[in-house]
C-alpha cells in the first residue's frame, strides 16, 4: 500500500507574503473553500498576531472550514500562541504552528540567543500550545543551515514536549536535492523518538529547487509537504502544490506515494489565486500555465493527434483544464451557463448567476468564442466586488496620431451621475485624468499592466492596476473587449477598494 503524503497548503500565509499578494478576509474564505475542494489535509490561514485583520481572517476561515485542519502561525512565545488559539479555537480541527530559528546565523544576528536558550524557548512553546490542543506543529526556521547535531537535539526535544509534526524548512532555498534528502534521512536515523511525529518540509524556491527538494525529502521519510498554489510566496516563492501533487501522481512507478488531492480542482484553484492576487502565472508554468498542454511544433501536433501520450504525460482534464476550447456561445441558455459556472468552481446565488448571464450574453454578441477565462473575468468583474461608491456608466475616447488624446467619462458617484473630460499622453491617461478629477482622489497609480485573457483578435483584455494613498496600496482589476474600458474599470475598482479601506480601517485589503 502506498504511503499517503499530507499536503499542508500555506497559500494564505506564506503565499500572501509575496509582495502585493495580500488577501482580505472574504478572499481568504473563498480560497479556503477552494482548498477544501482540493482536499488539502491542512491549510495555514495566516499569522494571527500580525494584525487585527489577519486575526479575524484566520478566525473566519477556521469557522468556515469543516473538511480540513486549519493552522495558524505563532512565534515561540506565549502571547503569539494564545492569540493563535483565540483565532483557531472554533475550527473543526485546529492546529497551532509555532516556530523559532535554529541556525547560528539567526541565533547570533536575529535572536541574540544561545543554543540552550532556543531549545528552552522551543520546548516551552510546544508545551504551552499543548495546553490548548494536541495538534501542535513545530518548525525549526532555517533548518538547512543549522548545525546538524544541534538540529537533532532540537527535534528530539520538541517531540518529547508533545509536537506531533516537526517541520524542517529550507527557509532561504539554499539546499540541493541530494543534500536535503540526506538531511531528512539523518534525522530519521539519529533522533530516537522521530517515529512519534510526522516530519514535514517547507522548501523555498530561491534556486528553483523547491519541488525537487520536497520530492527528495519525501523519498527519505518526510510525511508532509508544505506548499502553495502557483508556488507563490516570499522572494522566489514556495514549492508549487500542483507540481508536487502531479509529480507524485504521474510518477507512481518511481514514487510509491499518494496524496488525497482531487487534482481536477488544481486549475480552478490556480485561476482563483491569480484573480485574487493579480499575480499572473507565466505561460510555461508546469501543470497550470497557458502552454502546459499546448503544442505548436508540427511533429508534436502530429504525434498528439495520433496518440496523446506521445507528448502528454498527463491529460488536461486530470488537472481541471477544459479539453474543449470553445465552452459557450451566444445561443447557449441559462442551464448550460449555470452548469459551466459550477464546473469552474464557483458557487453563486440565483441573483448573481443572472447578473453574470446578462454580462455573458452581451460578451457573446461581441466575441465569436467564449472561453473559461472569459467567464472568470466576468465573475471577477461583475460579482466578486466590494460595495461601490464609484460606478462607470460610459466612456468615450478620441485618440490618434494627429490629435491630443481626450476622454469623456460618465460616472455614478454616491448615486449621483457626473461627467467630465480629460486629456493625457494616451487614451488611458486621459480617462484616468477625468476619473481622478471627478472622484477627487489623492491616490497615485504605481503600477499598470494589461494582458489578453484569451486568444484571438476579439479577446478580452484584463487590466490590473496598483494604486497607493497614504501608505496603503490596493489592487484593482477590470476586464473588457475594449482595453480602454477595462483600464477605466480597473482604476475605479481600485478607488472603490481605497474607499472601503478608509471606512473599515483594515490594513489587509489588497
Would you say 122 and 157 are in contact if contact means Cβ atoms under 8 Å apart? yes
Is pLDDT of 10 > 50? yes
CA distance 382 to 435: 20
Q: Nearest 5 degrees, angle CA 77-CA 83-CA 84? A: 90
The one-character DSSP state at 13 is T
Buried b (16+ CB within 10 A) or exposed e, 213-242: bbbbbbbbbbbbbbbbbbbbbbeebbbbbb
Residue 361 lies in a domain: no
The residue ranking higher by pLDDT, 297 or 498, is: 498
In the predicted model, is pLDDT for residue 129 greater than 60?
yes
Q: What is the tens place of the pLDDT at every residue in 18-33?
A: 877 788 898 999 999 9
Measured CA to CA, the distance from residue 177 to residue 152 in angstroms comes to: 20
Q: Is 51 helix (H, G, I), strand (E, B) or coil?
A: coil
Q: Which of 411, 423, 477 is nearest to 450 (CA)?
A: 477
Whether 284 maps to a domain, the answer reads: no
Q: What is the pLDDT of residue 24?
A: 87
Q: Are 334 and 358 in contact (CB under 8 A)?
A: no
What percent of the chain shows pLDDT beyond 90?
64
Distance CA 186, CA 149 (A): 10
Domain span holding position 397: 390-504
Cα 81 from Cα 85, distance rounded (Å): 6
Q: b vs e for 257-286, b when ≥16 Cβ sit within 10 Å of the residue's Cβ?
A: bebebebbbbbbbbbbbbbbbbbebeeebe
Domain boundary among 227, 248, 269: 248
CA 421 – CA 435 distance, rounded (Å) = 8
CB 396 within 8 A of CB 407: yes
Let me know: does 151 contact 186? Beta carbons within 8 Å: no
Other Cβ atoms within 10 Å of 194 Cβ, number: 18
pLDDT tens, residue by residue, 287-313? 998 778 764 444 444 554 566 667 678
Domain-embedded: residue 88:
yes
- Determine what percent of the chain falls in helix, strand and coil, rounding each to the nearest 5: 45, 20, 35
**Which of these three, 248, 266, 298, is where a domain ends?**
248
pLDDT for position 360 = 86
Specify the range with the lowest mean pLDDT, choosing from 73-87, 327-341, 407-421, 490-504. 327-341
Percent of the chain with pLDDT over 70: 88
Mean pLDDT is lowest, of 52-61, 173-182, 246-255, 446-455, for 446-455
Q: Does 102 have pLDDT greater than 50?
A: yes
Give the distance between the most distant pair of CA atoms in the chain.
80
Residue with grid cell 480602454, as numbered in its chain: 484
The rounded distance, in Å, linking the Cα atoms of 282 and 294 is: 14
Q: Which residue is listed with cell 520546548?
A: 123
In this predicted model, what pLDDT tens digit does every residue of 357-411 receive, in sequence order? 888 888 888 776 677 667 777 876 666 556 689 999 999 999 988 889 999 999 9
Band (127; pLDDT cuts 50, 70, 90): very high
Q: What pLDDT, on a 0 to 100 scale, did the predictor assign at position 301?
A: 45
Give the confidence band of 453 by pLDDT, cuts at 50, 70, 90. low
Pairing assessment for the beta strands 94-101 and 472-480 based on DSSP bridges? unpaired
CA distance 146 to 108: 12
* Residue 424 pLDDT greater than 90, yes or no: yes
The CATH code of the domain that includes 130 is 3.20.20.70
Q: For the domain that residue 471 is a member of, what is the CATH number?
A: 3.30.160.270
In a domain, 254, yes or no: no
Task: Among 188, 222, 248, identify where a domain stops.
Answer: 248
Q: What pLDDT, on the 0 to 100 scale, is given for residue 326?
A: 36
281 in a domain, yes or no? no
| Residue, of 304 and 191, whose pLDDT is higher | 191
- The yes-or-no verdict on residue 510 having pLDDT over 80 is no
Mean pLDDT, the chain, whole residue set: 89
| Cβ-contact 178, 145 below 8 angstroms | no
Q: How far apart are CA 135 and CA 123, in angstroms?
A: 15
Contact 282, 355 (CB under 8 A): no
Q: How many domains does the chain have?
A: 2
Residues 6+ apart with CB under 8 A from 450: 461, 462, 463, 464, 483, 486, 487
Q: Distance between CA atoms of 155 and 111, rounded to whole angstroms?
A: 19
What's the pLDDT at 499? 84
Between CA 443 and CA 498 the distance in angstroms is: 9
Q: What residue ranges in 28-86 does DSSP mark as E strands?
A: 42-46, 69-75
Residue 174 lies in a domain: yes
pLDDT band at 341 (very low <50, low <70, confident <90, very high): confident
The pLDDT value given to residue 355? 87
In this predicted structure, what is the pLDDT of residue 379? Answer: 77
Distance CA 53, CA 178 (A): 41
* Domain-embedded: residue 381: no
Instruction: Place 325 in a pLDDT band, splitting at 50, 70 and 90.
Output: very low
Query: How confident is the model at residue 100, as a pLDDT?
Result: 98
Q: Which cell is 246 given?
A: 502531479
Tell me if residue 181 falls in helix, strand or coil. helix
Question: Are 53 and 24 in contact, with CB atoms under 8 Å apart?
Answer: yes
Q: What is the DSSP annotation of 103-144?
A: SHHHIIIII---HHHHHHHHHHHHHHHHTT-S-EEEEEETGG
In a domain, 277, yes or no: no
Amino acid at each position: 500500500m502506498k504511503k499517503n503524503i499530507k499536503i499542508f497548503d500555506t497559500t494564505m500565509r506564506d503565499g500572501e507574503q509575496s509582495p502585493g499578494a495580500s488577501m482580505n478576509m472574504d478572499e481568504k474564505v473563498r480560497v479556503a473553500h477552494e482548498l477544501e475542494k482540493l482536499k488539502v489535509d491542512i491549510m495555514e490561514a495566516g499569522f494571527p498576531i500580525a494584525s487585527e485583520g489577519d486575526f479575524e481572517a484566520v478566525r473566519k476561515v477556521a469557522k468556515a472550514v469543516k473538511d480540513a485542519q486549519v493552522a495558524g502561525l505563532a512565534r515561540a512565545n506565549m502571547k503569539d500562541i494564545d492569540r493563535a488559539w483565540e483565532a483557531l479555537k472554533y475550527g473543526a480541527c485546529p492546529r497551532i504552528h509555532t516556530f523559532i530559528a535554529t541556525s547560528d546565523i539567526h541565533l547570533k544576528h536575529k535572536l541574540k540567543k544561545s543554543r540552550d536558550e532556543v531549545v528552552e524557548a522551543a520546548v516551552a512553546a510546544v508545551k504551552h500550545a499543548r495546553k490548548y490542543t494536541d495538534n501542535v506543529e513545530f518548525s525549526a526556521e532555517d533548518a538547512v543551515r543549522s548545525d546538524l547535531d544541534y538540529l537533532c537535539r532540537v527535534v528530539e526535544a520538541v517531540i518529547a514536549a508533545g509536537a506531533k509534526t516537526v517541520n524542517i524548512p529550507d527557509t532561504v532555498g539554499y539546499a540541493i536535492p541530494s543534500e536535503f534528502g540526506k538531511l531528512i534521512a539523518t534525522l530519521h536515523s539519529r533522533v530516537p523518538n522521530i517515529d512519534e511525529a510526522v516530519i514535514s518540509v517547507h522548501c523555498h524556491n530561491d534556486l528553483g529547487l523547491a519541488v525537487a527538494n520536497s520530492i527528495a525529502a519525501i523519498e527519505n521519510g518526510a510525511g508532509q509537504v508544505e506548499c502553495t498554489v502557483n508556488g507563490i510566496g516570499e522572494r522566489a516563492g514556495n514549492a508549487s502544490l500542483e507540481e508536487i501533487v502531479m509529480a507524485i501522481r504521474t510518477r507512481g512507478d518511481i514514487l510509491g506515494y499518494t496524496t488525497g488531492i482531487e487534482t481536477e480542482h488544481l486549475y480552478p484553484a490556480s485561476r482563483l489565486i491569480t484573480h485574487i492576487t493579480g499575480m499572473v502565472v507565466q505561460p510555461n508554468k508546469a501543470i497550470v500555465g497557458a502552454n502546459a498542454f499546448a503544442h505548436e511544433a508540427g511533429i508534436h501536433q502530429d504525434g498528439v493527434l495520433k496518440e496523446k501520450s506521445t507528448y502528454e504525460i498527463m491529460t488536461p482534464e486530470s488537472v481541471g483544464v477544459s479539453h474543449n476550447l470553445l465552452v459557450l456561445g451566444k445561443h447557449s441558455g441559462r442551464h448550460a451557463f449555470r452548469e459551466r459556472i459550477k464546473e469552474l468552481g464557483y458557487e453563486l446565488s440565483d441573483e448573481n448567476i443572472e447578473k453574470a448571464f446578462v454580462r455573458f450574453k452581451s460578451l457573446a454578441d461581441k466575441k465569436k468564442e467564449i472561453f473559461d477565462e472569459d467567464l472568470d473575468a466576468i465573475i471577477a468583474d461583475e460579482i466578486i466586488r466590494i460595495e461601490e461608491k464609484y460606478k462607470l456608466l460610459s466612456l468615450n475616447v478620441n485618440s490618434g496620431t494627429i490629435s491630443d488624446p481626450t476622454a469623456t467619462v460618465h460616472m455614478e458617484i454616491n448615486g449621483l451621475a457626473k461627467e467630465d473630460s480629460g486629456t493625457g499622453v494616451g487614451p488611458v491617461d486621459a480617462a484616468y485624468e477625468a476619473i481622478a478629477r471627478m472622484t477627487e482622489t489623492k491616490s497615485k497609480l504605481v503600477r499598470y499592466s494589461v494582458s489578453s485573457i484569451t486568444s484571438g483578435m476579439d479577446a478580452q483584455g484584463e487590466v490590473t492596476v496598483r494604486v497607493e494613498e497614504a501608505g496603503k496600496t490596493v489592487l484593482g482589476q477590470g476586464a473588457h473587449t475594449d482595453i480602454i474600458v477595462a483600464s477605466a474599470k480597473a482604476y475605479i475598482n481600485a478607488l472603490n477598494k481605497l474607499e472601503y479601506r478608509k471606512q473599515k480601517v483594515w490594513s489587509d485589503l489588497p
